[in-house]
Amino acid sequence: MERDAETIRALLEMLFQRTGRRYSERLIRLGTDASNNRRIDRPDGHAALKGECGDTVEFFLRVAGGKIEDAAFTIDGCLSAYASLAAAAEMARGRTLRGCLGVNQSAIEEYLGGMPEEDRHCALLAARALQKALRDYAVGKTRKG
C-alpha cells in the first residue's frame, strides 16, 4: 500500500512538472482505476453524452430496491473526465435515487479534492451523465408501469 502511495505521489509531481496543473491523490487514484470502466448488461438507466471538449461517455445504472446497486461508465477522454465519472459512479452506488440528485458538478469536484480550473467541465459532464441515466431509469419505470 505504501508503494502505491509513493507511485501516486510521483505521478502527481510528474503531471505538475509537465502540465503545471495540480491534481489530488484521489483524482489520480480514480483516474487510473479501471474497475468502474465497463458496461452493465441490460442497465436500468443509461445515458450517452458528448462533452464540450469532445469526450464521449456512456453511463450505466443498475437499480434494486430503490437504490443504485451498481454504476459504471465507458469513456474516451482525459484523466480528469475519467476520474469525474468514477467519482460519480462511486458517489451514486448505494444511494437512493433522490440521494443521487445531490451528485452535481461541485459535489464531484469536492469528492475529488478539487481539480484544475480548465478541467472543471469534466465534473459537469459526469454529473450530467449520471442525471441523464437517472432520468432514463425514471422514464423507463413509468413506461413499464
- The grid coordinates listed for 70 are 451498481
**Least confident span in 46-50, 78-82, 87-91, 138-142:** 138-142
Locate the domains of the chain by residue range. Answer: 2-144
DSSP category for residue 52: T
Q: Alpha-carbon torsion 19, 117, 75, 60, what sign?
A: positive
pTM comes to: 0.86
The pLDDT score that the predictor gives to residue 120 is: 96
- Predicted confidence (pLDDT) at residue 37 exceeds the cutoff of 90: yes
The tens digit of pLDDT for each residue in 45-63 reads 999 999 888 999 999 999 9
DSSP letter (8 states) at residue 118: G
**Which CATH architecture group holds 2-144?**
Alpha-Beta Complex (3.90)
